[in-house]
Amino acid sequence: MEGSGQFIVDGQHVAAEFTSDHLIWTDTSSKKEVWVETDNIICCTTTTEETGFEVVYAAKSKKNDSKLREGRIVFSGPADKVRIFSRIIQGYLAENKRPRRLLILINPESGKKRGYKDYVNKVQPILERCGIQAEAVVTTGKGQPTEILGDYDLDSIDGLVAMGGDGFYCECLNGLIVRRQTDAGVDFNDSTAELSAPTIPIGILPAGTGDYVVQYLHGTRCLVTAVLRILMGKSVNTNSASIHEDNRCLAHSGLVLGFGLFGDMMHNCEKYRWMGSNRYNIVPIASLLRRRTVDVEIEYLPAKSSASTSSPSSRDFKRQISLPVGNYKVSMAPRLRRQSSVPDILINITNGWQKTTGRVYAVDTHPIVMAAKDGRMRPCFGAENLTMTVTDKCSLSKHVQQLSLVNDEKPDCYNFDFVRQMNVDAFKVRLSSSTPLRITKTGRKELDKNFFINCDGEAIRLTTPQFEVRFHRNIVSLFGTPST
């Protein structure tokens, strides 16, 4: 689908050409060329009299390559040429399925509570200029995305957009997954069920405190960039990790799932919401100083990709720790110390599950895996498995050193003798039999102490001494194109 023609742009005569790769126009007198990649074109509209057409596109910011700005160019000319050329561009955009109808859920309480105001002032004008049909709904309480999506006509939209922080993205992710399983007749609470992937992508408009998923997607928290990335229509598949307790699915995580220290940190941050975003700088330090160990038994199902390269009966495989990609240049001494410090692991021959016990500070996983690249840990969407990270008992100074390296995204941040990593498809954590329990009025046994899981910035309190985590690869698509 190609075309060419003579038009007027900003009072100058230009020769325009459109191909599947680019739109280019050349000043006929100065021979100056301007071109736009077709992937960056968002819409093309003609004037009422069809004497001109406007192309809206995403252009790189002059100050920051990660940021985008809205570009607009108007071509004027004879009605017949305008009609032919504009329809070629519009046909290309239709074939490449740019989203034209969006449901936008807004969390007014995220971050600095500017979500709705920023939507009206910054987002809505761009959508209107691009002719996007958008229904914006301001949520009023936790869990409402699931309620809204429960009976919404998803066939009437091309995408769901979450305007809020990482926690709100998690809520929208859960709502979309629950709705899809309901439509497909899949038991959402069954940890062994093979889930059906939603058919529409999710977009994220940053309005939270951290906005990590958006930063992983676009390399920036810029709101305009996020809007344009959604309208460009490109998407990437991403994973989730579901957490189950007592035959119920508590939630799906799309970013981080942390039991122990990071669960306590998030719970403590929630208690100090009055501090605003400052609580994330202060409360975690206090939580680290008051860290507690937990005696646990962990069963895990090694990832199929890992199991296929090692013999399940091999002693080396039983003690294998997966280092981040690129750590082969690090001295092997720390790895050997780590192997010798790992507790004995029992193998369940019947179903491939393995088991380890220990006194730990944390058991964590990240659906968006961090892998070493160019001297730093980089996000990896759609990885083949989960990496379960277990932090054993250690000195406070060593723990602070290790967490500082994680915060600085250093490739050797897990290269410590008290940190274990396994590539898994699922894992179960069971608290020791000495953990205090209480009997409820219904006769049900529940934990008598508080234990929390950090699920994408939300603290989930456990009620029973065991939970299970399951891996779901490419469960949903996100609008965006992460840098490679």
3-state SS, residue 354: strand
- The residue out of 76, 96, 116 marking a domain boundary is 96
**Which pLDDT score is estimated for 482?**
83
Helices (H), 243-395: 261-271, 279-289, 304-307, 315-318, 333-341
Residue 211 belongs to domain with CATH number: 3.40.50.10330
45 membership: H or E segment, kind and range? strand 41-46
DSSP H helices, 54-131, are 79-95, 115-118, 124-129
CA distance 284 to 263: 10
As a whole number, mean pLDDT of residues 30-58 equals 93
Q: pLDDT band at residue 338, thresholds of 50, 70 and 90?
A: very low
Q: Report if residue 399 sits inside a domain.
A: yes
- Which of 96, 23, 61 has the alpha carbon at shortest distance from 218? 61
Share of the chain above pLDDT 70, in %: 90
Taking phi over 0 as left and psi of -120 to 50 as alpha, with beta for the rest, 430 belongs to: beta
Mean pLDDT score, 221-229: 96
Residues 116 and 211 in one domain: yes
Average pLDDT, whole number, for the chain? 88
Same domain for 139 and 31: no
Q: Helices H, strands E: what count in the chain?
A: 13, 26
Domain stop point among 41, 73, 96:
96
Judge if 134 and 193 occupy the same domain: yes
- What confidence category does residue 330 fall into, taking pLDDT thresholds of 50, 70 and 90? very low
Residues 6+ apart with CB under 8 A from 429: 259, 296, 297, 298, 363, 466, 467, 468, 469
Q: Are residues 426 and 358 in the same domain?
A: yes
**Contact indicator for 196, 188 with CB cutoff of 8 Å:** no
Return the residue matching tokens 């994680």: 406
Cα–Cα distance between 275 and 39 in angstroms, integer? 43
Q: What was the pLDDT predicted at 306?
A: 53
Q: What is the CATH number of the domain that holds 14?
A: 2.30.29.30
How far from 363 is each of 144, 216, 306, 387, CA to CA, in Å? 29, 23, 20, 10
The domain that holds 385 is classified in CATH as 2.60.200.40
| Rounded mean pLDDT, 369-390 | 91
pLDDT digits (tens, 9 = 90+) for 286-322: 999 999 999 999 999 999 865 433 333 332 323 333 3
- Cα separation, 304 vs 325, in Å, equals 18
149 and 45 in a single domain? The answer is no
Residue 335 within a domain: no
Identify whether residues 364 and 417 lie together within a single domain.
yes
At a CB cut-off of 8 Å and minimum separation 6, what does 441 contact? none
Quote the CA–CA distance of 423 and 13 in Å, as a whole number. 60
Structurally, how many domains does the chain consist of? 3
**First vs last Cα of the chain: how many Å apart?**
29
Per-residue model confidence as pLDDT tens digits over 152-170:
999 999 999 999 999 999 9
- For 117, the 3-state DSSP assignment is helix
284 plus 426 within the same structural domain: yes
Tens of pLDDT along 443-474?
A: 888 898 999 999 998 999 999 999 999 999 99
What are residue 179's DSSP bridge partners?
A: none
- Which residues make Cβ contacts (< 8 Å) with residue 298, sequence separation at least 6? 355, 356, 357, 358, 363, 388, 390, 427, 428, 429, 430
Residues 358 and 465 in one domain: yes
Residue 314 lies in a domain: no
Q: How many CA atoms lie within 13 A of 387 on its CB side?
A: 23
366 within some domain: yes
Is residue 88 domain-shared with residue 136, that is, in the same domain?
no
DSSP state letter for 323: P
294 and 171 both lie in a single domain: no
Q: Are residues 294 and 268 in the same domain?
A: yes
Question: Is 24 part of a structural domain of the chain?
Answer: yes
Residue 187 belongs to domain spanning? 101-233
Q: Are residues 261 and 157 in the same domain?
A: no
